[in-house]
Every structure is written in structure tokens, then in C-alpha cells.
Structure 1
Amino acid sequence: MADLVTRADRDGWTLLTLNRPAKLNALTVEMFAELRRHVIDLRHDDAVRCVVLRGAGKCFSAGHDLSAIAEGEGPPSPGWHSETLRMMERLPKPVIAAVHGHCYTGALEVALAADFIVAAADARFGDTHAKWALTPVWGMSQRLPRRVGTATAKRLMFTAGMIDADEAVRIGLAEYAVPSGRFDAEIEALAEGIAANSAFTHAAVKRLLEATDGGPLDAGLQWEVMESEGHGPDMHERIAAFTTRPRSE
């Protein structure tokens, strides 16, 4: 049987792909287990400086597999899905959700656990918990309002409506939208650009933002100074490469 989440290592970055295209990458316990294994492996892989998560086939993911819910699927423990996404969120390297096509409910919860979302022009986002009389347990109630604001999160959650890529960008859910024909090239260029920068800085910045998120400004400013991780082992090399490069006439 094919892997439900595939890993492809590129030059300094890794592409993780939700790989159940015949079912629109609907999420199951088995898929999450594979995603979790990849996250664990990536945490200590210093060769990987950026991670991109996307879906195979027509879309990112249509969300939690409703058939699996109806059959009473059993995760290994309460909160296991949420814990898995938190592990991904806390990877010491940038994680990008590259969303095309459907990204609904559970899939949106997965995308929100990335550092940011880049949307193809055909992307569609929505939270349909209310449509099915469900409540979020993978992080929607916490990450969505932090991303778009409480009132907008309530609107999306109460209406269970769909929004397109442009609206996702407007409300701050996605960072920017890309024409579908250029989506693959844009994601590759973005990941390569991030991977070219300092892995030390990426990890330190993620820890800094995590520690000060939502706190008072003065406390955050003090933390930034007092808890500074300093500079990375490649600082001098990077500066020397810049200052000694040939100057154009």
C-alpha cells in the first residue's frame, strides 16, 4: 500500500505530501500516524532547513474523513491529533502549508499548525464543524482566532461557509495567493529561499515568538534581550561571504 504521507528531500528542504488523492486526502488516524513519524524524524534532521506540507492530486485535503468518524475511529489517546499538530508547529524550522483546492475543517486545522499558509488561486477554506454538530479538538478554536481575529473566526465557525483564496489573504488566514499555474514554482522558490538562510536564526526566532506570543510588549522586549540566543556558528562565514564578494562596476 502506498504511503499516506510521502517525504521528498530537496536541496535543504523537504516536501511532505498528504497522499490519499482518491479520497481527496481525507484525514484518518493512519495518515496522522505517518505525519507524526515524519515530524519526529524531521526534528533532528539538520540537513532540512524548511518543510513544505501539501496535498496530492486535486486538493490539500477535504478534511477529517467523515466515514472514519461515523465508524468510531479511535486515536491512540485523547488529544493525540492535537498533540501531533503541536509537534509539527514546534519544529525548529519553518513549516509552510501550500494549499490548493479544498482545505476544510480538519485540513484547515492542519494548515494552521504550519508557520504560514500560501494559497493557490483555486484554494477554498472553511470550518464545517457546525454543519456536522462537531466541536474542534485539533486546535481550530485556538489557532484560527489568533490568525484572523476573534470576530472573523466566529463568523467562519458559525456560518460554516467557504471562502476563496483572495478572501483568505484579505483576512490574514493565508499570506498570499498565487496563480495555480505558477503554484509549484512559487512554493519551490519560497522553500529554497528560506532554506538558504540561517537554520540557527529560524529556530531561535520560532522559540522567541513562541515564548512571547500574546504577552505585553515590554515583557517581550525584555525577553528578546535577556533570553537572546546570540549568533549562529555560521555568522562570520555568512558575513565574510557577503563583504568579500566581487562588486559590480
Structure 2
Amino acid sequence: MHILLVASAFNSLTQRVHAELRDRGHRVAVELALPGTSLPDAVRRHAPQLIVAPMLKSVIPEEVWAAHTCLVVHPGPVGDRGPSSLDWAIHDGVDEWGVTVLQADAEMDAGDVWATVPCRLPRVSKSELYRGEIADAALEAVLLAVERFAGGTHVPRRQDSAGTADAPLRTRPYLDQGVRRIDWTEDSTRTVLRKLRAADSQPGVLDTLLGGEWYLHGGHPESVLRGRPGELLATRAGAVCRATRDGAVWIPELRPRRVVDRPPAFKLPAVRALGDRLPPLPEHPAPLSPGARHDTWTDIRYREDGSVGFLAFSFPGGAMSTEQCRRLLDAYREACARPTSVLVLGGERDFFSNGIHLNVIEAADDPAAESWANIEAIDDLVEAVLTTTDRLVVSQVAGNAAAGGVMLALAADEVWCRSGAVLNPHYRLMGLHGSEYWTHTLPRRVGPETADRLMREALPVSSAGALRLGLVDRVLECGPDGFAREVAGLAARLAALPATAVRITGKKTELDRLESTTPLAGFRERELALMRRTFDDPDAPYHALRRSFVHKKRPSGTPPHLAPAAVAETGPVPSAAGVTRTAPLGSSSRPIG
């Protein structure tokens, strides 16, 4: 079936729906609903059989919905209406929620129901839920609705104007800053966290701090530090700790309120954003040792279970600055000094990594120099993983990964991916050739022709597609909360296999063979030569593309690479149930490097 995705942006959910529908053999094109563009004209040009809107902030014109079935994804259960559905659910502390696929008509969120799927709302940030539990439910609902539409016999359920006992109608207004505002003298830590989590990653919570107005982004509880409500207590990994009425919270990122006649501000690590305003505060690093307390926030954490080490990291937005890459490399080296045979690398729920930190680069006095420092730092980290020969390294990809983040994952011996993750193994949309040893690791896994196609097409790849291509070795069918537990069990089995010791012994031999024929340093030098040329050229597209990305400048039209409606070359997937695992634990079909 020819399906047109209409969206306000090609965001994480739109990418996932795009990749999963292509996996199932549908011809899929994307049209961005942008100011100054005509959606009716675009629809006529595409002539789709069905229109799906995974994330749409504007109204579909009557000219479109009257002529085509338009299925709109609403991040709320049946009966819930309004533009801040998920925000309100988190703000109110709701435990159970859902996603509904509605048919567009004259009234927003009031159309016939094609599918609805319930989901849990664990106590995490809005953006993490949106990419996790909400995305899982949304995809299930979209696939069910598409299947029902294709069947031609399903009659969608009408929403009664009065609602029902199970699904009463409730239209909630936009959740504005008047409701989000934190009262540091009165609000408990629990309330503060709920407000922060409901505003992440947009719009943030507007607050006053050190004589300025800032949007606060992200929030994590602190179990020990205490002070006067509203007082800044300490720093850690670029975040600031601020006292509440009965505790304290860590705030990782800040964004200054926009000043008239100046470019829009953007998020930065809190310490970096505050700059000279920040008074002298103690730095409270969290210990990295296996026995360190886990009741306080940190962005890098290490633990052990028998002969398996787990090095978890979680950076806001998946971006990794020069400083974050260097700290993670130090932590990786410490983890490699431990007596383990398997090391699991990656976060437990959300992003794996999206590569270099474009916001920090944009804020630097010399963005070109910071770009170079950042790419060198992430290359050092990837090199450390590639040259680890005394244990097996497993990348656990719990959530999305892109560009250099994908290549960091591919540096490991095995890549285990959650079924909900989306991979973007390309760089060209940012005007970059890319580094992170991708010219070695990507062709090694998928072959030169497929590597070239992935880079050229610059389209998202589902976990199922990644498994078929050989990008990943294992896909785990589980929810976000269950992924780390599943990985831990598999890693323990891997460590216990007699074949694992044999594989570890073979790693040193294989690396020596590689170095004697095509040394890793050569890949890095060739990649960095092209990157350096781009960074040092002020007219290179990278600089304009970076600025547009950081300042969230909307494109003038739908990027050409999203318009073609080609069937995925990887071929259709009969059903999601068919996506499980590849070879048995302990086996490997490719060289280890």
C-alpha cells in the first residue's frame, strides 16, 4: 500500500513508523507540514492510498481529510483531547495511559477511533516516555489501524460526544508556564520532579536563577545533599544540584529565555550555560566503583554481576560533548581494569548515542576547533573499544542511535538492540563525511555496497531491519523497563560459555592480523582528513546545517530524500513476532576487531 506520512517534523516517532511500515512492504513517503507549503497540493502529488500523521501540530485541511482517510496519532487514551496530553498525564502523576489513532475530521481529537493501545507511565521524563512506552504503544496502534484499513471491512468506533464511563471526554488546555512553575519554598521534591519531567525536553520549566530567566530541562532526585529551598548546592558532570523544600534535585541542562532581537537560545549543560554567573560550588562526582551507591544521579555508572561488568551512560539527547567523551573513555578504561570477561556498554532505557554534541559546539568561541576536539575525543573512545582484546564487549542499544553513536555501538564484538530502537547510520544530513572508524566497522558488518547505500539514502533503520542487514546481532522483544534485565541474563550466559574464552583469545590474533594488513590508524587518518577539511572551511554546508539544527530552524520544504516511496531493499517482515535473535550465544559470523 502507498502510505503518506504527514508530520510537523521527522522526529523519533515519525522515523520509527516510517521504518516499520517499510519493513512490512508498504511504499512510504513523508511530507512535512510546514508554514508556507500547501498540504493539499502535496497530497495530490503523492496520490496516497492512506495518510498517517504520527506527530502533527497543525490541523489537516478539510480538502485533504474529506478526500482521504487520514489517521492521526494522539498520545492519550480514548476521550482525552488537547495539545498537552502527555504533559498533563505526567504532571498529574498518572500511572496508566495510552495512545489512540483517530480519523481526522472537523474537530481536533474527536474523529472515529481506528485503534487504541494502553501503556504504563513509569517515573521518567516525557521525552524518555515518548521514545519508549508511548512510541511502543503508538506503533502497535498504527500497525493495527493500517491493517484494519487495508482489510477494507473494519468500521471505526465513533466517539460519543458525552464519552463513556470507561473513557470520559476531557479536553485539556495547553499546559502553560503558569501551571508548570516551581515554588521552591513549597513544592516537595516529588512535585518538583514531576514538573520537570513533564516539561522535558520541551518546553522546559521557566524559572529565575542567579539573576536570569532560564528554562530548566531534566530532573533527577538527590538523596543526600540538602540546603535552603532554591539554593544551588553542588555540581556534577555539568549538572547543578538545587535544594527543594524536603530534598534536592539535579538539573542537567538550562536554556536562557529568549531576548527580543536575538537568535533563539538553546539548551546547554547547566554549568556551561551559567558560565561566570555560577558561584564557586563543590563538584560532587559519583564514585565509579562497582560498590558505589546507586541512589543518586550520575550520567556514567558502573556495576558488576559475577564476571560481567556493566558500564552504563545516559547523556541528554544522546549527544556526547568532548568532556563527556573523555569522561566515558576514563570510565571505560577503569571498567577494563576489572576482572570480568564480558563488558556491557550502553544505557539501560533511552538513547545509546547520537554522536558529537552540536549544541556545545555551536556555543564554543571557535566552533570549528570544538568540532575537531569533539570528533577526536569520540574517536579515542571508539578506538579503545575496537582494541579491547582481553574480554568481549557488548553494546546494549536500548534506544535510538545515530551517526557516530551507531559507530560507537558497532565497535563492540556484539550489538544487542531493543525492538523499539531506531538507528540512523549516516552523516550526510549534517554535511559530514563522518569518522569514528565507520569506514572499517560498517562495511565489515554489512558489506561495502550496503554501507554505501545506508550512507547515501540517509534513512532510519528499524531494529528488525538492522538485524537483517547485520548491523546488530540480536534484537530483544521487550519494553523499555525490561531491556536491561534481559541483557543482564544473556550477558551472564555469554560469560559462562566455554566458547567465550576461545573468542577472547582469538581477539588478539585477529587484531594483530588487521594491524598487519589494514591498520586502524589508517582508517582514522583518512576519515579525519576529510573532517578537518570540512571543519576548517567556513563555507562548508556543515556549519550552516549545524546552526539550523541547534536553533531549530524549520526547513523551507520536505527534504528530497524523504519524498521517494520506495520499498525497503531489506525486504518485508512477515510480523514483529518473527524478530528474535540471530546465532546462538557464543557464536559469531564475522571477524572480531
- State the TM-score, normalized to the length of structure 1: 0.76
* Residue pair 1:89, 1:95 contacting (<8 A) in 2 also: no
* Residue pair 1:97, 1:118 contacting (<8 A) in 2 also: yes
Query: Which one of 459, 473, 490 corresponds to residue 190 of structure 1?
Result: 490
- Give identity over the alignment, percent: 23
SS in 2 for 1:125: strand
Give, in angstroms, the shift of residue 207 of structure 1. 1.0
Cα distance, 1:78–1:148 mapped onto 2, change above 3 Å: closer
Indicate yes or no: 2:488 matched with 1:171: no
Higher relative contact order (CA 8 A, sep 6+): 1
The equivalences for 1:214-233 within 5 A come to: none
Largest Rg, 1 or 2: 2
Cα distance, 1:136–1:197 mapped onto 2, change above 3 Å: same
Query: Which one of 450, 453, 467 corresponds to residue 152 of structure 1?
Result: 450
Which residue of the partner structure matches residue 123 of structure 1? 421
SS in 2 for 1:7: strand
* Residue pair 2:325, 2:377 contacting (<8 A) in 1 also: no
Q: Higher strand proportion, which one?
A: 2
Query: Which one of 41, 62, 78 corresponds to residue 354 of structure 2?
Result: 62
Deviation by residue 1:114-165 (Cα, 9 ceiling, x = unmatched): 1111111101111341001012121122211111111111111111110001
* Residue pair 1:127, 1:160 contacting (<8 A) in 2 also: yes
* Residue pair 2:418, 2:476 contacting (<8 A) in 1 also: yes
The equivalences for 1:69-80 within 5 A come to: 69-71=361-363, 72=367, 73=370, 79-80=376-377
* Residue pair 1:25, 1:60 contacting (<8 A) in 2 also: yes
Give, in angstroms, the shift of residue 195 of structure 1. 2.1
CA distance in 2, matches of 1:176, 1:200: 20
Give, in angstroms, the shift of residue 38 of structure 1. 1.9
Give, in angstroms, the shift of residue 8 of structure 1. 1.5
Cα distance, 1:19–1:101 mapped onto 2, change above 3 Å: closer
Which residue of the partner structure matches residue 28 of structure 1? 321
* Aligned-pair Cα RMSD in Å: 2.5
SS in 2 for 1:24: helix
Structure 2 residue ranges without an equivalent (≥5): 1-235, 237-296, 518-593
Indicate yes or no: 2:304 matched with 1:9: yes
Task: Name which of structure 1's ranges 52-61 and 93-102 shifts more when overlaid on structure 2.
Answer: 52-61
Query: Which one of 205, 216, 219 corresponds to residue 506 of structure 2?
Result: 205
Cα distance, 1:193–1:161 mapped onto 2, change above 3 Å: same
Which residue of the partner structure matches residue 90 of structure 1? 387
Task: Name which of structure 1's ranges 59-68 and 165-174 shifts more when overlaid on structure 2.
Answer: 59-68
* Residue pair 2:329, 2:380 contacting (<8 A) in 1 also: no
Which residue of the partner structure matches residue 245 of structure 1? none
Deviation by residue 1:153-208 (Cα, 9 ceiling, x = unmatched): 11111111100011000011111211123533321122111222467534312112
Indicate yes or no: 2:346 matched with 1:51: no
Deviation by residue 1:87-119 (Cα, 9 ceiling, x = unmatched): 122221111011122111121011011111111
Task: Name which of structure 1's ranges 72-81 and 9-18 shifts more when overlaid on structure 2.
Answer: 72-81
CA distance in 2, matches of 1:78, 1:61: 14
Task: Name which of structure 1's ranges 56-65 and 136-145 shifts more when overlaid on structure 2.
Answer: 56-65
Which residue of the partner structure matches residue 112 of structure 1? 410
Task: Name which of structure 1's ranges 32-41 and 169-178 shifts more when overlaid on structure 2.
Answer: 32-41
Deviation by residue 1:187-234 (Cα, 9 ceiling, x = unmatched): 112211122246753431211232345999xxxxxxxxxxxxxxxxxx
How many residue pairs get aligned? The number is: 213
Which residue of the partner structure matches residue 334 of structure 2? 41
Paired AA for residue 30 in structure 1: E
CA distance in 2, matches of 1:83, 1:191: 25
Structure 1 residue ranges without an equivalent (≥5): 217-249
CA distance in 2, matches of 1:177, 1:78: 29
SS in 1 for 2:346: strand
* Residue pair 2:312, 2:346 contacting (<8 A) in 1 also: yes
CA distance in 1, matches of 2:472, 2:375: 29
* Residue pair 1:25, 1:55 contacting (<8 A) in 2 also: no
Q: Higher helix proportion, which one?
A: 1
CA distance in 2, matches of 1:175, 1:214: 25
SS in 1 for 2:435: coil
* Residue pair 1:98, 1:187 contacting (<8 A) in 2 also: yes
